[in-house]
A and B are shown apart, each in its own frame.
Chain A
């Protein structure tokens, strides 16, 4: 049992415990914070696997982007300090049973399967290698998915703006009412 093994088990245990807390806690803000710790533990596992670039992307996009977005949306949509309503017990039991059955089946399949490794020499996933591969148009390059993903992000951005935009019709009467009320008070 050396240091690296201990670190792996620690990170794995942290990820699992915080994930379980995140889906069971009744305070939504705490659920978001537990999710944050789970994502950081998974980034730690990427560091442990020596995939530093993907760990950095995980921290930047998930921890810095998605969790902050989720926390903001909690602020916008939730009355603070209010607990989520209790779930029905039978729903919990059936979900737990289904999840346990699926978990057991998958683990059984994984441990019965033997995986074959290649003997070819390994490439280290340095940023240089990743960048070269990502922008090659030759066989095995990822230039096309890279461009497609940029189009997808643009479409998602415009879509978000359109969906979340307030309708003007609803605002105008409100303002007029406000003005009339103001006049009445004056």
Chain B
């Protein structure tokens, strides 16, 4: 069967929910960040697939993916700065310890 839009949508849905599973089960902040990256990637794949198969006369999906990649990079950098700061004060990066951040 020739792969088309539905195949890519299946792939991106599966990637999204694998990321959600990781986000729900992991308790380490860095692995949770990795799950978020998986989720963002599946969204990018969706945008590109819709652009390629449904609206090939425009390039809006491509630009949305580009901007999502840029925002993901900024988000990862800020998250890792916060994680390293948390590690300095608590010597661990579990989410249970992150509650203390608000005090």
Bound-state Cα–Cα, A130 to B62, Å? 9
A-side contacts of B28, CB under 8 Å = 28, 84
Contact of A123 with B57 in the complex, beta carbons under 8 Å: yes
Q: Which 4 A-B pairs have the closest CB atoms?
A: A23-B22, A122-B56, A156-B74, A95-B24
Q: Is the CB of A49 within 8 A of B69?
A: no
On A, residues with C-beta under 8 Å from B are 5, 8-9, 12, 15-16, 19-20, 22-24, 28, 31-32, 35, 38-39, 42, 45-46, 49-51, 53-54, 57-58, 61-62, 65-66, 69-70, 73-74, 76-78, 84-85, 87, 91-92, 94-96, 98-100, 102-103, 106-107, 110-111, 115-118, 120-123, 125, 129-130, 133-134, 140, 142, 145, 149, 152-153, 156-157, 159-160, 163-164, 166
B88 to chain A: which residues have CB within 8 Å? 166
Task: Flag if A45 contacts B34 (CB, 8 Å).
Answer: no
Count B-side interface residues using an 8 Å CB cutoff. 68
B48 A49 Cβ-Cβ under 8 A: yes
CB distance from B22 to the nearest CB of A (A): 3
Chain B residues near A (Cβ < 8 Å) = 1-3, 5-11, 13-15, 17-22, 24-28, 30-31, 33-35, 37-38, 41, 44-45, 48-49, 52-59, 62-63, 65-67, 69-78, 80-85, 87-88, 93
A69 touches B77 (CB 8 A): yes
B2 and A15: CB pair below 8 A?
Answer: no
CA distance A49 to B7 in the complex (A): 12
Are B25 and A92 closer than 8 Å at their CB atoms?
A: yes
